[in-house]
Amino acid sequence: MAQTEPGWELYRTLLAVIREGSLSGAARLLGLTQPTVGRHIDALEAGLGIALFTRSQGGLAPTESALALVPHAEAMASAAEALQRAASGEAEEDRGTVRITASEIIGTEVLPPILAAFREAHPRIVIEVMLSNRTEDLLQREADIAVRMIRPTQAALVARKVGVVRLGLHAHRAYIEAHGAPQTMEELPQHPLIGYDREPSVRRLKDFGFELTRDLFAFRCDSDVAQFAALRAGFGLGVCQFALAKKYPELVHVLPGMAHFELDVWIAMHEDLKTSLRMRLMFDHLAAELGAYAAGG
């Protein structure tokens, strides 16, 4: 039983120490002095009546009690950030902060020009981008608006389908000139394939006639950006959105008419944000621009 009610700043320090593994690292992350960080941890331990860290050769090791607090402290951090964004601008003014979450490829290859155009029209709005595929970001208020390739199902969200993107196998032109391209599905395993490492994604391509499993991949990585970089470097065959491939003429579609599938593009935000002008402006802008992007594929 806690003897006092520890403030948020103590839990924020706890998260920083766990993430950095030391008082000094947490101090640099938070912009505090190391003694201040130490006092925060001491105060939190005293307030909760539990030990949070043990010292080891590698630094500070969190106890099981500390690790049990992490998801709750992260929820507090998300709420604090959401409060800051909400307070950054009046509801009916085009100023303040909008935080967007999107997948790695959408966030790095598709959104930048879209957001640049939005910035030109609304220079007082600050844009934050979080690259993630987690569907719970909005409910936990880690982001305001999400771009997703699956339909959000949470009742508290406002969601709009803005289009459909087509994906298929591609290879760099230099790879094809050097090694040729598969002409049938049966030839596909004879080429180096680019795919996931530990996290099976929606791109398992079950419509190929057989399921691409981890064992078939010659390049394995759970980062979409790294996979795309390997594709553009000529490593082998990988999945790419047709609309995105148009930006890179060196990428050639292989197995046309056979190896392709589609994903819906959805935009979602928490229903409580509908009254905010900057949120509505961003939501509508993303819907229009991502719809145009999807149609171009």
CATH architecture label of 96-162+264-295 = 3-Layer(aba) Sandwich (3.40)
Structural contact between residues 190 and 67, judged by C-beta atoms closer than 8 angstroms: no
Structural contact between residues 223 and 104, judged by C-beta atoms closer than 8 angstroms: yes
Both structure tokens of 21 = 């593994």
pTM value is: 0.68
**Domain 8-85's class?**
mainly alpha
Are 96-162+264-295 and 165-263 in the same CATH fold?
yes
Write down the pLDDT at residue 19.
Answer: 85
Please choose, from the candidates 279, 267, 269, the residue with its C-alpha nearest in 3D space to the C-alpha of residue 118: 279
Write down the pLDDT at residue 211.
Answer: 64
Question: Can you name the CATH fold of 165-263?
Answer: D-Maltodextrin-Binding Protein; domain 2 (3.40.190)
Question: How wide is the angle at C-alpha 224 spanned by C-alphas 221 and 230, nearest 5°?
Answer: 65
Domain ranges within the chain, ordered by starting residue: 8-85, 96-162+264-295, 165-263
Write down the pLDDT at residue 139.
Answer: 57
Write down the pLDDT at residue 2.
Answer: 44
**Interatomic CA distance for residues 82 and 144, integer angstroms:** 8
The CB density around residue 249, as the number of other CB atoms within 10 Å, is 8
What stretches in the chain show pLDDT beneath 70?
Answer: 1-4, 57-58, 82-92, 133-141, 155, 199-212
Both structure tokens of 82 = 């959401």
Burial class of 92 by CB neighbour count within 10 A (0 to 12, 13 to 18, 19+): exposed
Write down the pLDDT at residue 242.
Answer: 95
Burial class of 198 by CB neighbour count within 10 A (0 to 12, 13 to 18, 19+): exposed
